[in-house]
Structure 1
């Protein structure tokens, strides 16, 4: 409920910062777990946080993977939102830099939460990739996949493996520990939209945003098929916050975020961007060359809209917001 305290990790990232503002504007008090003073200053000095500084506090946790890392941070909190997790380009060693941090960071915060009697619910950022079999068949956030073989090289499939493994170890943990709080996994598709902390185009071109800008607006030619499933960052943030008090979730629940009704192909994105920003194509900022073959990723997240009473923003809105911010920045 609003006015209660939320522990939030990953608040300096695109999803994390947008979720932070969503939680603060919804009336929650937030304790942001940060790894450094630099990240604390980035969050505290951002224009979007200024109206809510009285609701915002910080705790430094330098090593999220360490046993007991969050023991002090969880004291007195009612809810936890754990967003921090490595991206596909986090390093060169897949196990060390991507897979194990995703698993150990999640289990570390769950273990600490189980020691604090005040915790009512833990919300974890997973991914739509975590329950995808890589087949074109329709699937939902409620499906589970067996542990995958982990690729030796970093990239898309290594990231997908880390999300599958982190989700499966979370399920194992809940079944074994039977905690006194609910655990909810939020499973977004590729996340697009404005990044309120980006001050340059290089800042904006991180994570899923960078993938869209590079693939769809940079003239790339990809013919092996790239998954066509995405969502707006605003919806991801709203689902995280609404999940804090949605009733009747049981001990473990998954909520997907993605466009289930809207069918699109990667090459559609350039036409949407051209519709709103024709001058950017005329001056060469965006280019029309190249083509990306789409691979069907039939992720059905409609149950989230129904359960939480929201309607996800459209593909066009996400493209307009992201391309618009890119043009604003230098």
Structure 2
């Protein structure tokens, strides 16, 4: 009988790739979503369940409702908690970000604690946002941010409510895991890009590449990671008995908008990828990604392949409508951040 695993927030970008990899390995995957009535959000999951050897079950669960995850977690071997809001602009920080992140984590960990007879490990999807904020203190090591660092500078008042929510949620998870005796590992991705599985492009990750493909200029210097690597790290963190603590999944240094544009123009010369001149970009941030490579066996996908695969799949599924070469986006179009 196939082992059962739970993936919360299964319709999310990272979770979708995680479900795909777990099904490919033959697991029975119980994926939780807010509403099974949102067919367009789960269609790609249903397709994966039909195409891959594992078995997919979809269940409704509410992050804010105590006990909502209890039945779905019963009998599971691994629990992957990926569900958490990934939005920057919100109307109410507490309601829209903090509560779903922190209370949702508490509810999922409580369900896992009740099912300790079967649950061997919880794998939490945290973020490099829990390591440092934009107004960051220097790294503990003095040079590279690592798993030893914690974000203690982000607040709702300085515009970093998302960073704050991730730091609070991860701290809550570690406290609950210790109190209940749960074995937990946390995966901390940076800005996740890569191939999409659905035609939705309403998330920040897909929107970043979609905007470039559609001729909008890029701003900012994200440090990226590939969604396939992030999912693989989750699987390894669950399956490897020696895995423990926190693992950052990220490239070491930022990519500049000029490099992104250059890579996409070289691969898609038929499209009007905007020309971004080299500028004085802030590229001081550096990440130590060696622990995940050393202990989880992770081999990171080159950034160029991540960008190209993201763009190619967005175009293939109709989520991005590129402009032909020689055309220009509307002058009033907003930049992609």
The verdict on a shared fold, with TM-score over 0.5 as the criterion, is yes
Q: Determine the structure 2 residue equivalent to 1:229.
A: 223
Task: Output aligned runs, 1:5-154, within 5 Å.
Answer: 5-39=4-38, 42-43=42-43, 46-52=46-52, 55-61=55-61, 63-89=62-88, 91-116=90-115, 117-133=117-133, 134-135=136-137, 137-146=143-152, 148-151=154-157
How much has 1:237 moved relative to structure 2? 0.9
Query: 1:164 and 1:97, CA in 2 relative to 1: closer, same or farther beyond 3 A?
Result: same
Whether contact under 8 Å (2:193, 2:225) holds in the other structure is yes
Q: Counterpart of 1:307 in 2: which secondary structure?
A: helix
Whether contact under 8 Å (2:31, 2:58) holds in the other structure is yes
In structure 1, how many angstroms separate the alpha carbons of the residues matched to 2:52 and 2:313? 24
Q: Determine the structure 2 residue equivalent to 1:247.
A: 241
How much has 1:228 moved relative to structure 2? 3.0
- Number of residue pairs matched? 309
Q: Counterpart of 2:37 in 1: which secondary structure?
A: helix
How much has 1:121 moved relative to structure 2? 0.5
Query: 1:104 and 1:320, CA in 2 relative to 1: closer, same or farther beyond 3 A?
Result: same
Task: Output aligned runs, 1:182-221, within 5 Å.
Answer: 182-198=183-199, 203-214=200-211, 218-220=215-217
Unaligned 5+ runs, structure 1: none
Q: Determine the structure 2 residue equivalent to 1:288.
A: 275
- CA-atom RMSD in angstroms: 2.6
How much has 1:218 moved relative to structure 2? 4.5
Q: TM-score, normalised by structure 2?
A: 0.83
Q: Determine the structure 2 residue equivalent to 1:275.
A: 266
In structure 2, how many angstroms separate the alpha carbons of the residues matched to 1:131 and 1:18? 24
Query: 1:22 and 1:40, CA in 2 relative to 1: closer, same or farther beyond 3 A?
Result: farther
How much has 1:147 moved relative to structure 2? 7.2
In structure 1, how many angstroms separate the alpha carbons of the residues matched to 2:16 and 2:45? 12
Range that drifts further, 305-314 or 46-55: 46-55
Query: 1:53 and 1:310, CA in 2 relative to 1: closer, same or farther beyond 3 A?
Result: closer
How much has 1:322 moved relative to structure 2? 1.3
Of the candidates 155, 160, 164, which is equivalent to residue 163 of structure 2?
160
Query: 1:207 and 1:219, CA in 2 relative to 1: closer, same or farther beyond 3 A?
Result: closer
Q: Counterpart of 1:243 in 2: which secondary structure?
A: helix
How much has 1:289 moved relative to structure 2? 4.7
How much has 1:48 moved relative to structure 2? 3.0
Q: Determine the structure 1 residue equivalent to 2:327.
A: none
In structure 2, how many angstroms separate the alpha carbons of the residues matched to 1:147 and 1:104? 21
In structure 1, how many angstroms separate the alpha carbons of the residues matched to 2:103 and 2:156? 16
Q: Deviations over 1:99-136 (max 9, x none)?
A: 11111111110011111121110111111111115256
From the two aligned structures, give the one with the greater strand fraction: 1
Query: 1:307 and 1:217, CA in 2 relative to 1: closer, same or farther beyond 3 A?
Result: farther
Q: Counterpart of 2:162 in 1: which secondary structure?
A: helix
Q: Determine the structure 1 residue equivalent to 2:333.
A: none
In structure 2, how many angstroms separate the alpha carbons of the residues matched to 1:39 and 1:186? 28
